[in-house]
A and B are shown apart, each in its own frame.
Chain A
Amino acid sequence: MSKTTLIIKREFFAKVRNKSFIVMTFLSPLLFVGIAVFVGYLSTMKAEKKTIAVHDESGFFFNEFKNTDEYHYLDASKIDLSVLKDSIIKESYEGLLAIPKNDGSEKWQSKIEYISNDSPSVTFIEDIEDIINQKLTAQNYIQNHLDTLAITKSKSDVSIHLQKATGEEALKGLNEIKIAIGGAFGYLIMMFIVIYGNMVMRSVIEEKVSRIIEVIISSVKPFQLMMGKIIGTSLAGILQFLIWAFLGITAMFILSSVFGVQMGSTSGVQSQQAIEVAKDTMNSNMQMYIKELWNLPIATIIISFIIYFIGGYFLYSSFYAAIGAAVDNETDSQQFLLPIIMPLILGVYIGFFTVINNPHGTIATVFSMIPLTSPIVMLMRIPFGVPAWQIIVSMILLFATFFLVVWFASKIYRVGILMYGKKPTWKEMIKWMKY
């Protein structure tokens, strides 16, 4: 067995047998699901019902306000306005909607007031305005002898039909799905780089602190050790990822079978017809979405994910390894880590803010070429369809940079692992490259 293989094996098992790895692997999906369930539960909790007193002098509008889960409208037209205002201050009601009698004057509309101690939400105010406007409009139609039926008939409701140049059907909201898929992969790469890059760094520091490093590099080349460490750690990461994927798929199967049964049992209770109709429309939409999803360049996404994962992870791990070699303990590493994490964060931001608006714009394209951000940005772009040459150029750049960085990193690493007791500066680390 070659020495590098031996090192890879040791690093892999050292990571995998570690208690924290086992705990992380099986606990973090649980945590993730737990948090999702908790947030879901919170959002289903009903908000406290708010009572809105409506002082409608004419009594013309009140019937239009329908009670909802959130708001209860109380007809307070008979009560004196000043009394009502007092009770608002005492917080007997959430708010008071005061609609004075329509005297026909132009200023009348601006006299409609909403009084509350809290500032109301925009949607709530817009809803109230809509209700009043609709009622008034309808009244105006009648007053102006317009045929309301004709007006309703003549209203149009355009929903633009999306289609690709190839003639395939396209769906609204697909961009969101695409960015979600690309974003998920891009984000995953960033997480893996940070978590496993840190592991590489810690493992290098551990060898320095335990002073075993010189024993080992009298048997193997520092470069072999560094690469073995990076590869072994990445394999542990890939194993963790596979376990998560497996758990996820298993969970999906369990969930879908459980929910499938539930759907069948409830259908008997409700009107069969309504269910059928709903199912039909939902199915056709869902089928479209599923079809669209299948039409995404899935093979390209997965293959690129693997390639960008390896390239990006190796590139950043070399940085992490060099930093680990240069410092004596983890606290000292902070100042060197910031410049490494910045491009990763930049990549994610560009992905979520620029790519979604303009996936093939200059900024998105440039950052999907720059090796430090390309694994994240390019993966977010790929679901939108990226010309093959761009992907290839970006990959070549990534791997070329990786080889360059690994070469420099190994020089810093070689010198750094044998240096003790002083905190190096950037300047010194550059000097080490010349040794």
Chain B
Amino acid sequence: MNNILEVNQVVKQYGDYTALNHVSLSVPKGSIYGLLGPNGAGKTSLIRIINQITMPDSGEVILDGEKLNPTHIQMIGYMPEERGLYKTMKVGEQCLYLAQLKGLSKQEAKNQLKYWFEKLEIEGWWNKKIQELSKGMAQKVQFIVTVLHKPKLLILDEPFSGFDPVNANLIKDEIMELNKQGTSIIFSTHRMESVEEMCDYIALIHKSNKLIEGKLTDVKKQYRTNTYEVGVLSSNVEGLMYDLTQKFTLSQTDFKSLNDELKLDINLGDATPNELLNVLTQRGQVTHFVEKIPSVNDIFIKTVSEK
């Protein structure tokens, strides 16, 4: 079994409103999986089904080779988008309580807490109440609570909202480390930078339907346009332009450089990069030659606006 999670043809309706329309996903073991979609696409509905907060109307969810059942609760660590803690409860007590609800024994929970409190350097907070902490501090506690029971699958809904950049980085590093140790991670977000940086698989959900799914590189290949960003120094610009327009589609572009060169986006169509290079080198000095890889953001906007 190579997938930690498989979602098969899941349908969820609230009254007349369809939140999920036959959605299927496969999350490979050990991956960082980005679940993308605009607000209201159905991400949270799907995540709630995986967490057994709600039941699907039809379809099934398979976690680690087994049909979803109550014992799976312990295998999942979930940080919801709408998250918080008991404000008047002490940090230590609260963490112990939530860990025990996840099925840890009190002793195990204490050991784990000690480890994490030391790691994130918050040992002094044990007897503080949440309301005495800042929002960022509370988020750290929230993160600990999510990972305390060593879940096999970590589901993070908009994990970085509420963190300042320093703490966001800290948490990001922790997430990456957990991933290295074998934890599979599902990221639900509409913030594309973090997806680009961290995810190796993505799925795009829009208006209750899954539109795209796959390895990030594969998806990008699928959406590549064979366009190259080119910088060229030439004494005969007109001649060069003439040659290029014969074979390729051009458009002006801009990027940062130290020279005052001609900057172009060139769509190759069916041609190969070498053919382009041949034309360019005949007429001038190539200073810049990069394939324009579509960003997740581009793909996201393109797919969402197409449908």
B242 in the interface (beta carbon within 8 A): no
User: How long is the Cα–Cα vector from A210 to B88 in the complex, in angstroms?
Assistant: 10
The size bracket of the interface on B is 20 to 34
Question: Residues on B close to A: CB < 8 A?
Answer: 14-15, 48, 51-53, 73, 76, 78-80, 82-89, 97-98, 100-103, 142, 145
A397 in the interface (beta carbon within 8 A): no
Residues of chain B with a CB closer than 8 A to A214's CB: 53, 78, 80, 82-83
Given that A6-B100, A218-B73, A431-B15 are contacting pairs, would A212 and B51 also be in contact in the complex, using a CB cutoff of 8 Å?
no
Q: Beyond A215-B83, A215-B142: 4 further Cβ-contacts under 8 Å? A: A6-B97, A206-B86, A218-B53, A435-B14
A218 adjacent to B84 (CB under 8 Å): no
User: How long is the Cα–Cα vector from A7 to B53 in the complex, in angstroms?
Assistant: 17
Residues of chain A with a CB closer than 8 A to B85's CB: 210, 212, 215
A218 adjacent to B78 (CB under 8 Å): yes
A418 in the interface (beta carbon within 8 A): yes
Residues of chain A with a CB closer than 8 A to B53's CB: 214, 217-218, 222, 418
Nearest A residue (CB) for B87:
A210
Interface string of A215-244 (1 = CB under 8 A from B): 111111010000000000000000000000
Give 5 A-B contacts (CB < 8 Å), ordered by A residue.
A3-B101, A212-B83, A214-B53, A214-B80, A215-B98
Residues of chain B with a CB closer than 8 A to A14's CB: 86, 88-89
Residues from 380 to 435 in A contacting B, C-beta threshold 8 Å: 418, 420, 431, 434-435
User: How long is the Cα–Cα vector from A74 to B14 in the complex, in angstroms?
Assistant: 87
Residues from 2 to 34 in A contacting B, C-beta threshold 8 Å: 3, 6-7, 10, 14
A143 to chain B, nearest CB (A): 86
Main secondary structure of the interface of B (DSSP, over half): loop
User: How long is the Cα–Cα vector from A10 to B85 in the complex, in angstroms?
Assistant: 14
A1 in the interface (beta carbon within 8 A): yes
B145 adjacent to A1 (CB under 8 Å): no
Nearest B residue (CB) for A217:
B53
B155 to chain A, nearest CB (A): 9
User: How long is the Cα–Cα vector from A3 to B84 in the complex, in angstroms?
Assistant: 20
A101 in the interface (beta carbon within 8 A): no
Q: A211, A216, A218: which contacts B76 (Cβ < 8 A)? A: A218
Residues of chain A with a CB closer than 8 A to B100's CB: 1, 6
Residues of chain B with a CB closer than 8 A to A212's CB: 83-86
Residues of chain A with a CB closer than 8 A to B15's CB: 431, 434-435
Residues from 311 to 368 in A contacting B, C-beta threshold 8 Å: none
Nearest B residue (CB) for A420:
B82
Interface string of A134-158 (1 = CB under 8 A from B): 0000000000000000000000000
B73 adjacent to A219 (CB under 8 Å): yes
B83 adjacent to A211 (CB under 8 Å): yes
Residues of chain A with a CB closer than 8 A to B78's CB: 214-215, 218
Nearest A residue (CB) for B85:
A212
Residues of chain B with a CB closer than 8 A to A418's CB: 48, 53
A193 to chain B, nearest CB (A): 25
Residues of chain B with a CB closer than 8 A to A219's CB: 73, 98, 101-103
Residues of chain A with a CB closer than 8 A to B51's CB: 218
A210 adjacent to B73 (CB under 8 Å): no
A432 to chain B, nearest CB (A): 9
Nearest A residue (CB) for B57:
A435
User: How long is the Cα–Cα vector from A3 to B145 in the complex, in angstroms?
Assistant: 16
User: How long is the Cα–Cα vector from A215 to B73 in the complex, in angstroms?
Assistant: 12
User: How long is the Cα–Cα vector from A10 to B73 in the complex, in angstroms?
Assistant: 20
Nearest A residue (CB) for B146:
A215
User: How long is the Cα–Cα vector from A14 to B82 in the complex, in angstroms?
Assistant: 23
